[in-house]
Amino acid sequence: MRYSTDRRPATPATLPTAVPTAVPTAVPMAARRTAILAAVQAYNQAHPDALPPHASVGLLLAMFPGESGFTGSLAQLRAAGFGSAISEQLRALVAAGLLSLQPNGHGAPTTYRLLLP
C-alpha cells in the first residue's frame, strides 16, 4: 500500500489511466522497458544537445505500462512524484518524437500516444 509520504517512483498500479487501443498492443513489462530505453538512448545519441531528462524513461514506463495510450492528468503525474515541470517534460518528449499528443477538447483529457520505432 502506498502512503502519501511515499517518495518512490510511480508504478503502473498508481497510474491506472492507460487507454486500450483498437489493436492490442500490450507487451510484457520487460519488453516495454527495453523498447523505451532503446528509443530514449537512440534519441540521445542522435541529438546530444537536446537530451530529454533522465526521468523520461520512468515517466514513459509509468504512463505506458503495456498500452500505447494515456489519458491521465498532469495532476495525477505530479501526485505520482514526477514533479512540477511535467508539462515541459511532456512537451520535450512530443518534440523528440517519442510521444504524440491528441487534444480531445471540451474538458475531455488529452490522449498521449507512445511512439516507439
Domain borders along the chain are 26-114
Could you tell me which CATH class the domain 26-114 is placed in? Answer: mainly alpha
Report the mean per-residue pLDDT for the chain. Answer: 76
Q: Which grid coordinates are listed for 85?
A: 515541470
Least confident of 23-32, 55-64, 66-75: 23-32
* 70 class by beta-carbon count within 10 Å (0-12 exposed, 13-18 middle, 19+ buried): buried
| Stretch (H or E) spanning 90 | helix 86-95
Chain segment 63-112, per-residue pLDDT in tens: 988 888 998 888 889 998 888 888 888 998 998 899 999 887 777 778 99
Tell the burial category of 111 from Cβ atoms under 10 Å away from its Cβ (0-12, 13-18, 19+): middle
